C-alpha cells in the first residue's frame, strides 16, 4: 500500500495518491475479501452439489408420494365427499372403474398396486387383477360388480387407505420407519408388535457404532500416546503401520476378514492354539469351535480394524501439541506418574478424543459393505436396508425416509453429546 501522507489542513490522513486513508484501507480489505471468496467458491459449489442438494432431494423424496393421486385422479376426487363410515357410494366405484380402464401409463396400475401393497399386504396382485377384469364391465352399476371381482373392495379399510394416500405429500414413509402408522381415522398409532422392525434396526445401528467407537478408543489411545512420546525417527516408522490400512480399499480389507473369520480359518485356529476355545467350552458358552463368520463379533472386529486410524490420528495430533513440561511439573510437585497422567495429561487430550470418536461414530452409522459381507442377517445396519429398498424394492420413499431418520438421530445424539461434553467449547492445543 502507498505510504500515508502527513495530515493536511482538513485534518484527514490520506494515502500517497491523495485518497483518504480510511477509504484506501476499505478498498484493500474489499479486494482481499473478493480474493478469499474466489478461492472458496469452488469448494462451496462442490459441497452444495455433492452434499446439500442430495440431502434436500432425500428430504423431499421421504414425503413425496404421487402414485395414488396420479393414477386414480377421478377416484380421489370422488372420495373427497366420503365420510369413511360405510362403503363409498356407487359414484366412487364408477370412478375406480374409469381410472382402471383408462390408465395414464402402461404401468400405472402396477405402480398403484405396489403403493397400496406397502399398507395392505397382497394388494398389488389384487389391484392388477382388478384392473384386468374391469375392462369387461361395459355398464353400471359397478359397486357389486367390483366387489365380486375381489372382496378387498368391499372392505372399508381399503378405501380409507386410498383416501389417506390421495395427497401428493404424505408422512407414511417417515412414520413407517419409526414403526408408526396412520389409523383409519387418520390418528397416529404404533404398528403391531409382529411388524415392528425399524426401531430395532436403528437401535442396532447405534449400538454397533457406539461399541466400535469405544473399541477403537480403547485400542487407539495407548498407541497414540506411544507415538506421541516416542522419538520422532521411531514414531515415523510406527506411523507407517498405522497408515498401512489406507493403502488398500475398504472392500479388500473386508474381504480379508471374511477369509480370516471362516470356520477353520486363521482366527479359529488362533482361538484353538491359545486355549480360548477350550475355556469357552468349559464355561458352557459354546459347544465345539465357536462360529465367528456371519456374526455380530465378526462385524465389530472388522469395523474396529477399519476405523482404528480414524480415532487414533486426531488423538495423536493433539498429543503432539502437549508439552512434556506439564508432566514434569506435576511430578516435581509430588504427583505419582499415574495421578499426573490422569489429572494433567489426559484432560488435555479430550479434544482429540472427542474429534476421533465423533468421526468414527458418524462413519460407522453409514457402514454397508462390512456388515453385508461378514455379518449375519441380524447384524445388518440401516445402510443395508436403504440399499435393499433402492436395489430390490425400488422404493425410493422408504430409502429416503430411512436416511432422514438416521440423519435426525445423528443430529440429536450430536446435540446431546455437545451439551454434555461441550466439544464446541474445547480448544485444540
Condensed to tens digits (0 to 9), the pLDDT of residues 233-265 reads 888 898 988 888 888 888 888 998 888 888 877
The residues that bridge with 182 in the sheet, in sequence order, are: 188
Q: Looking at residue 10, what is its pLDDT?
A: 57
Compute the distance between CA of residue 370 and CA of residue 384 in angstroms, rounded to an integer: 10
Residue range 134-152: average pLDDT?
88
Compute the distance between CA of residue 95 and CA of residue 146 in angstroms, rounded to an integer: 11
What predicted TM-score, i.e. pTM, was given to this entire model? 0.82
Residue 25 scores a pLDDT above 90: no
Q: Looking at residue 374, what is its pLDDT?
A: 92
Cell numbers found for residue 210? 457406539
Cell numbers found for residue 147? 366387489
Q: Looking at residue 14, what is its pLDDT?
A: 67
pLDDT level of residue 416 (50, 70, 90 thresholds): confident
How large a percentage of the chain has pLDDT more than 90? 43
Choice between 385 and 185, residue whose per-residue pLDDT is larger: 385
Number of neighbours of residue 79 by Cβ within 10 angstroms: 21
* Structural domain spans, the chain: 1-61, 67-170, 198-425
Least confident of 37-46, 182-191, 216-225, 419-428: 419-428
HSE, side-chain direction, 13 A CA sphere, residue 146: 27
How large a percentage of the chain has pLDDT more than 70? 93
The values of phi and psi at residue 241, to 5°, are -70, -30
Residue range 365-375: average pLDDT?
91
pLDDT level of residue 18 (50, 70, 90 thresholds): low
272-289 burial: b if 16+ Cβ within 10 Å, else e: eeeeebeebeeeeeeeee
Q: In angstroms, what is the C-alpha Rg of the chain?
A: 32
pLDDT level of residue 427 (50, 70, 90 thresholds): very low
112 to each of 109, 136, 393, how far by Cα in Å?
A: 5, 20, 14
Find, among 104, 45, 43, the residue nearest to 73 by Cα: 104
What is the DSSP code string of 361-405? HHHHHT--HHHHHHS-GGG--HHHHHHHHHHTS--HHHHHHHHHH
Compute the distance between CA of residue 95 and CA of residue 140 in angstroms, rounded to an integer: 11
Domain 198-425 has CATH 3.40.50.1980: no
Q: Looking at residue 286, what is its pLDDT?
A: 72
pLDDT level of residue 317 (50, 70, 90 thresholds): very high
Q: Residue 378, exposed/middle/buried by CB under 10 A (0-12, 13-18, 19+)?
A: exposed
Amino acid at each position: 500500500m502507498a505510504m500515508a501522507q502527513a495530515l493536511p489542513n482538513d485534518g484527514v490522513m490520506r494515502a500517497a495518491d491523495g485518497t483518504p486513508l480510511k477509504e484506501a484501507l476499505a478498498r484493500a480489505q474489499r479486494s482481499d475479501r473478493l480474493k478469499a471468496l474466489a478461492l472458496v467458491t469452488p469448494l462451496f459449489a462442490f459441497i452444495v452439489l455433492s452434499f446439500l442438494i442430495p440431502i434436500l432431494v432425500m428430504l423431499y423424496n421421504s414425503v413425496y408420494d404421487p402414485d395414488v393421486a396420479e393414477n386414480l385422479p377421478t377416484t380421489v376426487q370422488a372420495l373427497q365427499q366420503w365420510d369413511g363410515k360405510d362403503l363409498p357410494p356407487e359414484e366412487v366405484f364408477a370412478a375406480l372403474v374409469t381410472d382402471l380402464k383408462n390408465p395414464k401409463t402402461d404401468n400405472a396400475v402396477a405402480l398403484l398396486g405396489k403403493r397400496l401393497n406397502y399398507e395392505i399386504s397382497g394388494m398389488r396382485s389384487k389391484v392388477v387383477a382388478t384392473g384386468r377384469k374391469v375392462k369387461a364391465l361395459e355398464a353400471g352399476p359397478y359397486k357389486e360388480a367390483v366387489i365380486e371381482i375381489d372382496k378387498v373392495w368391499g372392505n372399508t379399510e381399503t378405501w380409507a387407505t386410498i383416501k389417506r394416500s390421495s395427497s401428493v405429500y404424505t408422512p407414511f414413509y417417515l412414520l413407517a420407519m419409526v414403526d408408526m402408522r396412520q389409523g383409519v381415522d387418520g390418528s397416529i398409532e404404533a404398528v403391531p408388535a409382529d411388524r415392528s422392525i425399524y426401531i430395532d434396526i436403528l437401535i442396532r445401528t447405534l449400538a454397533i457404532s457406539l461399541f466400535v467407537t469405544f473399541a477403537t478408543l480403547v485400542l487407539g489411545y495407548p498407541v497414540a500416546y506411544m507415538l506421541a512420546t516416542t522419538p520422532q525417527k521411531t514414531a515415523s516408522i510406527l506411523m507407517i503401520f498405522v497408515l498401512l490400512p489406507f493403502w488398500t480399499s475398504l472392500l479388500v480389507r473386508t474381504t480379508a476378514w471374511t477369509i480370516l473369520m471362516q470356520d477353520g480359518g486363521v482366527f479359529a485356529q488362533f482361538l484353538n492354539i491359545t486355549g480360548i476355545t477350550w475355556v469357552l467350552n468349559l464355561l458352557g458358552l459354546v459347544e465345539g469351535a465357536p462360529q465367528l463368520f456371519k456374526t455380530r463379533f465378526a462385524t465389530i472386529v472388522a469395523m474396529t480394524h477399519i476405523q482404528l486410524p480414524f480415532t487414533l490420528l486426531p488423538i495423536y495430533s493433539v498429543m503432539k501439541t502437549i508439552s512434556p513440561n506439564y508432566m514434569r511439573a506435576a511430578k516435581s510437585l509430588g504427583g505419582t506418574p499415574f495421578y499426573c497422567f490422569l489429572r494433567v495429561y489426559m484432560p488435555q487430550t479430550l479434544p482429540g478424543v472427542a474429534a476421533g470418536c465423533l468421526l468414527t461414530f458418524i462413519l460407522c452409522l453409514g457402514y454397508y459393505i462390512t456388515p453385508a459381507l461378514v455379518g449375519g442377517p441380524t447384524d445388518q445396519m440401516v445402510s443395508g436396508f436403504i440399499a435393499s429398498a433402492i436395489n430390490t424394492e425400488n422404493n425410493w420413499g422408504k430409502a429416503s425416509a430411512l436416511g432422514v431418520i438416521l440423519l435426525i438421530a445423528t443430529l440429536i445424539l450430536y446435540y446431546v453429546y455437545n451439551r454434555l461434553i461441550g466439544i464446541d467449547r474445547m480448544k485444540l492445543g
